[in-house]
Amino acid sequence: MKTAALFAGIGGLELGLHQAGHQTMMTCEIWEPAVEVLAHRFPLVTNNLDVTALKSLPARTELLTAGFPCQDLSQAGMTAGIDGRRSGLVGHVFRLLDRRRVPVVVLENVPFMLQLDKGAAMDLLTKAFEERGYRWAYRTVNSLAFLPQRRERVFFVASCSDLDPSNVLFVDDVSHPVRKTALNTRAHGFYWTEGTRGLGWAPDAIPTLKNGSTVGIPSPPAILLPNGRIIKPDIRDAERLQGFEANWTVAAPERLRWSLVGNAVSVPVAAWLGKRLNRPGHYDVGRDRPWPLKCGSFPRAARHDGVSRYAVEVGAFPLWRKREPLHQFLRYDGTPLSARATAGFLSRAEASTLRFAEGFLDAVRAHLELMCREETSVRAATSGRRRAKAAILIAAE
pLDDT at 214: 54
Reduced to 3 states (helix: H, G, I; strand: E, B; else coil), residue 138 is: strand
User: Is 28 a catalytic site residue?
Assistant: no
Nearest to 143 by CA among 317, 334, 24, 371: 317
Distance (Å, rounded) from C-alpha 397 to C-alpha 380?
26
Distance (Å, rounded) from C-alpha 92 to C-alpha 99?
11
pLDDT at 393: 58
**What are the residue ranges spanned by the domains of the chain?**
2-177+262-312, 188-234+323-391
pLDDT at 387: 63
User: Per the residue annotation, which of 70, 160, 295, 372 is the catalytic one?
Assistant: 70
pLDDT at 74: 42
The model's pTM is 0.90
pLDDT at 395: 59
Distance (Å, rounded) from C-alpha 374 to C-alpha 336?
11
pLDDT at 78: 44
Just give the CATH number of 2-177+262-312. Answer: 3.40.50.150
Reduced to 3 states (helix: H, G, I; strand: E, B; else coil), residue 26 is: strand
Distance (Å, rounded) from C-alpha 289 to C-alpha 309?
9
pLDDT tens-digit profile, the chain (397 residues): 999 999 999 999 999 999 999 999 999 999 999 999 999 999 999 999 999 999 999 999 999 999 877 444 444 444 444 454 444 688 899 999 999 999 999 999 999 889 887 888 888 889 999 999 999 999 999 999 999 999 999 999 999 999 999 999 999 999 887 777 899 999 999 999 998 889 999 999 999 998 875 566 788 999 999 999 999 999 999 999 999 999 999 999 999 999 999 999 999 999 999 999 999 999 999 999 999 866 678 999 999 999 999 999 999 999 999 999 999 999 999 999 999 999 999 999 999 999 999 999 999 999 999 999 998 887 766 665 666 565 555 656 6
- Residues 89-102: b if buried by 16+ CB within 10 A, e if exposed: bbbbbbebbeeeeb
Cβ partners under 8 Å of residue 207, min gap 6: 149, 150, 189, 190, 191, 200, 201, 221
pLDDT at 326: 97
pLDDT at 258: 95
pLDDT at 179: 75
pLDDT at 73: 41
Cβ partners under 8 Å of residue 86, min gap 6: 69, 71, 72
pLDDT at 216: 64
A 10 A CB-CB count for 304 gives: 21
